Amino acid sequence: MGDETGELRLFHRRHLLRRGDVLVQGTVIRAQHAFRAVTFASPDEHRQYLAKGTAPHSSLRRLLLFLSYALGARTLDANTLRYLWIEAGFDHALGASAD
C-alpha cells in the first residue's frame, strides 16, 4: 500500500490460480481507518514488542478478549490463534500514548 489515499485490493488465491487474467468485479468497500502493518520474526519477538509499550492484561481479561477475537476471526489456523492470544494479553489503549 502506498500513500493513505491508495487502494488495497484482495483476491482469493484459488481464483487467481484458475485464470491468467484477473477480472475485478463486485463491491468496493473503502476503509474508514488506516491499516496497521507490523511483522515479527517469531511469537517471542511479537510478545517483546508489545511488552515494551503496553500494560499486560489479567488472565481472565486476556481469555475473554482472546475468545472474542477468535470468534470474530472465524478460523482455527494455529498461527492466527497464536497471534490473537498474544494480542489479547496486552492493553493497546495504554500503549498508544507510549509511541
Domain residues of the chain, as ranges?
A: 34-96
H helices within 1-99, ranges in order?
13-18, 43-53, 59-73, 78-88, 92-96
Is pTM, for the whole model, over 0.75? no
Is 90 exceeded by the pLDDT of residue 43?
A: yes
Distance CA 60, CA 54 (A): 17
Q: What is the mean pLDDT of the chain?
A: 80
